[in-house]
Chains A and B, each alone.
Chain A
Amino acid sequence: MLEIKDVYKSFGKTEILKGVDVTIDKGDVVVILGPSGSGKTTLLRCINFLEKADQGRAVFGDIDVNLGTATKKQIHQIRQKIAFVFQSNNLFNNKTALENVTEGLVIGRKVPKEEAVKIGKKALDKVGLTDKYDAYPSELSGGQQQRVGIARAVALNPDIILFDEPTSALDPELVGEVLTVMKNIAREGTTMLVVTHEMDFAKDVANKVIFMDGGVIVEEGTPHEIFVNPKEERTQKFLKRVLPEDFTYHI
């Protein structure tokens, strides 16, 4: 469904991405793991044109765009199909939870307001915020804010949702509620590309795990392949460092 091909990106003289390919099929939950600085976030941001790649292609159904030279119109086209959940949620501070969710529908996609409100309420119900429609972001906890962020993405009914470390900025006790919401929408068949450090999420929810290091994909496979039988030494070292002693993989 979405093919990302040969993405290169440098910031100044530092090469962040050195030729990355990712293929995502409908209904996939793909998790990208890797040490910080390995280019995971940059890859996600290049796919949604929040960063301009130096080169690379995105093939999305019948749309085939160059990630480095896409026109405004093409960028707009791609963004209509992709939603993004940010690490620091980036909720619109001047809008209520419901307005945050409906903004993209009403303004970005020209959905009639009444219908957008209906969709927005449903999305907020789904993430367990039925009683927070009219709350401003400043009145919500970090976990609730991130759940609004997810509702904002879900409401757009995109072909794929990109998650950029959605739990890394949260207090530990708030991580669970966000992961639960993500698991639920994954079970509903939402296609997701997730950058995370939550190994349990990768293990339980993903059907494909990608390990990145130094701007390239070192290894990819099923969670079983990556967590139980990693072939590459770099993957083994990384997992040894980040996995707790008692981490077990079972199906």
Chain B
Amino acid sequence: MSEGLNYKFLVDTFFIALSGVPITLFITVVALLFALPLGFLLALTRINRIPVLHRFAQVYVSFVRGTPIIIQIFIVYSSVPLLLSSLFTKFNIGMNVYDVNPIWYAFIVFSFNTTAVLIEVFRSALSTVNRGQLEAAQSVGLTDVQAYRRIIIPQALVVAMPNICTATVNLIKATSLGYAMSLQEITLKAKVAANVGYNYVEAYIDIFLVYLLLCSAVEYAFKLYEKRLSKYKPSVV
């Protein structure tokens, strides 16, 4: 243990960890595609106090936010197969639940989790747009849908952008918990490589670097997009 870091392993494993990036990004994109529209719609039900739905959204948010993701993963990963296998037996489907790719469980957990985060992001962003904007749009003859699409959402999106960015970065980092359900992502791949020669320190450094690079790139992309969206705002330092 006195020979220090194994640099060759460090470099090799870096690329192994890097090969987990597509899976990580895939889960992130799927979760966002699911959570962005659903989170937005549920935020609308919160803001406009739509009966039942608005309560549902509220309870949903507190359930998801009030529990650790790792526990949500364990619950989905252990209960969904049980549920499925009883369904499979009932309907005589000859399929083994344990053949299901764990990525499906990842989709479920991270989609629902991100939805809860984005409900709150959109809710706060929408409430920053003055009610007068909607009234002005109505007064010039726009329907509510047109007013939201053309006037309110573009403004709310600018406000929401930094928080959507944070949510996305948090999501990317949270996918590392996917190793708990043997998901072939960055963390698991590097850890498996480290198992052979107990080079855990090197593997962790690689994992650290890959997430850092990935998240920095995503943050940079968001910043560029935010700049483009907020062209109507006075330039602030």
Contacts and interface: CB of A to CB of B under 8 A. Distances in A.
Interface of A: 48-50, 76, 79-80, 82-84, 86, 88, 90-96, 103-104, 107-109, 136-139, 152, 156
A109 B141 contact: yes
Contacts, number: 71
A93 B150 contact: no
A152 B151 CA distance: 15
Nearest to B229: A94
B232 A108 contact: no
Nearest to A75: B138
Contacts of A79: 138-139, 141
Interface of B: 130, 132-133, 135-143, 146, 150-151, 154-155, 158, 232-234
B232 A95 contact: yes
A112 B232 CA distance: 25
A90 B154 contact: no
Contacts of B158: 94
A104 B155 contact: no
A92 B234 CA distance: 14
B141 A156 contact: yes
A83 B150 contact: no
A104 B133 contact: no
Given A94-B232, A107-B146, A138-B233, A86 B141 contact: no
B139 A84 contact: yes
A103 to B, nearest CB: 6
Given A76-B141, A103-B140, A104-B141, A92 B151 contact: yes
Contacts of B142: 103-104, 107-108
B232 A138 contact: yes
B146 A93 contact: no
B151 A94 contact: yes
Given A136-B232, A138-B234, A93 B133 contact: yes
Contacts of B151: 92, 94-95, 103
Contacts of B150: 103, 107
Contacts of A156: 140-141
- Of the listed residues A90, A92, A94, A136, the one surrounded by the most CB atoms of chain B closer than 10 A to its CB is A94
Given A104-B142, A152-B140, A90 B232 contact: no
B231 to A, nearest CB: 8
A50 to B, nearest CB: 5
* 7 closest A-B pairs by CB: A108-B141, A104-B140, A90-B132, A90-B136, A84-B139, A136-B232, A138-B234
Contacts of A152: 140
B139 A92 contact: no
Nearest to A48: B139
A82 to B, nearest CB: 8
B132 A86 contact: yes
A92 B141 contact: no
Contacts of A138: 232-234
